[in-house]
């Protein structure tokens, strides 16, 4: 499995405002993300991102194929009127849930054309199990598009190969605004995950795109 995390953040590390507005990057940078999507077998996001943004997660700004969309959603909370489910019969859609997810909702999700993968018994989706299931479904190249909680879980697995972050020249502030990586976090800097910077792209928009690889 080849896993890339991509995100756009403000100078102060927020990936959305305190009200959940995440329209951070320029159209040019969005086109770069759509190119990454079209090169991936699947795009993965957390359920809070689907609820906040109601995204399509398709390739529209460049020419290319749509990847499968994978939603990490322990209790199958995905709204039946979300853009993801409304397009599930046309674009491959996988909802990763736990055994605790309500059976009736799972049936409704399947009826709309999505595939449901059970990864984990209770609590949160077991992302290691989810990646194994995705691999069995022929998915090898994955693009993780957040949000902060999912980024933390995936970074903790140590599975990622690339981290690409666009920094937009803006500050959003807000102590409750979501940052690039949420979760519990490390207590000591010496325990933190280390990266090496392999590429820097400076855009006319004033954005910089930073490409990191983990130090193994």
Ligand X SMILES: NC(=O)c1ccc[n+]([C@@H]2O[C@H](COP(=O)([O-])OP(=O)(O)OC[C@H]3O[C@@H](n4cnc5c(N)ncnc54)[C@H](OP(=O)(O)O)[C@@H]3O)[C@@H](O)[C@H]2O)c1
The verdict on 134 binding ligand X (CB under 6 A) reads no
The verdict on 39 binding ligand X (CB under 6 A) reads no
The verdict on 88 binding ligand X (CB under 6 A) reads no
Cβ at position 99, least distance to ligand X in Å:
13
Q: Using H for helix, E for strand and C for coil, what is the string for the chain?
A: CEEEEEEEECCCCECCCCCCCCCCCCHHHHHHHHHHHHHCCEEEEEHHHHHHHCCCCCCCCCCCCCCEEEEECCCCCCCCCCHHHHCCCCCCEEEEECCCCCHHHHHHHHHCCCEEEECCCCCCCCHHHHHHHHHHCCCCEEEECCCHHHHHHHHHHCCCCEEEEEECCCCCCCCCCCECCCCCCCCCHHHCCCEEEEEEEECCCCCEEEEEEECC
The verdict on 207 binding ligand X (CB under 6 A) reads no
Q: Cα–Cα–Cα angle for 148, 23, 161, nearest 5°?
A: 40
Cβ at position 166, least distance to ligand X in Å:
8
Q: Which of 35, 56, 77, 141 binds ligand X (CB under 6 A)?
A: 77
Residues binding ligand X: what is the number (CB under 6 A)? 31
Cβ at position 167, least distance to ligand X in Å:
11
127 versus 163: smaller Cβ distance to ligand X: 127
Stretch that binds ligand X, among 72-80, 86-94, 135-143, 205-213 (CB under 6 A): 72-80
Q: Which of 1, 30, 52, 62 binds ligand X (CB under 6 A)?
A: 52
Stretch that binds ligand X, among 36-44, 86-94, 140-148, 198-206 (CB under 6 A): 140-148
- Judged by the rule CB under 6 A, the positions of this chain that interact with ligand X are 7-8, 15-16, 20, 22, 24, 45-49, 52-53, 72-75, 77, 124-125, 127, 145-150, 153, 178, 182
């Amino acid at each position: 499995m080849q896993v890339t995390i991509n995100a756009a953040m403000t100078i102060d590390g927020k990936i959305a405002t305190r009200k959940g507005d995440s329209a951070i990057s320029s159209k040019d940078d969005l086109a770069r993300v759509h190119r990454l999507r079209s090169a991936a077998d699947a795009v993965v996001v957390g359920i809070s991102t689907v609820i906040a943004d109601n995204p399509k997660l398709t390739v529209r700004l460049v020419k290319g194929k749509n990847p499968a969309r994978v939603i990490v959603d322990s209790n199958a909370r995905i709204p039946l009127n979300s853009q993801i489910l409304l397009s599930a019969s046309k674009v491959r859609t996988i909802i990763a849930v736990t055994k605790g997810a309500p059976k009736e909702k799972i049936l409704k999700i399947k009826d709309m054309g999505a595939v449901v993968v059970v990864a984990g018994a209770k609590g949160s989706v077991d992302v290691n199990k989810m990646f194994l299931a995705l691999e069995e479904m022929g998915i090898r190249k994955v693009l993780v598009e957040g949000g902060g909680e999912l980024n933390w879980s995936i970074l903790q697995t140590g599975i990622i190969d690339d981290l690409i972050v666009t920094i937009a020249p803006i500050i959003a502030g807000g102590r409750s605004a979501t940052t690039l990586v949420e979760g519990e976090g490390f207590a000591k800097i010496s325990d933190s995950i280390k990266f090496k910077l392999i590429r820097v792209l400076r855009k006319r928009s004033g954005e910089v795109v930073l490409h990191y690889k983990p130090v193994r």
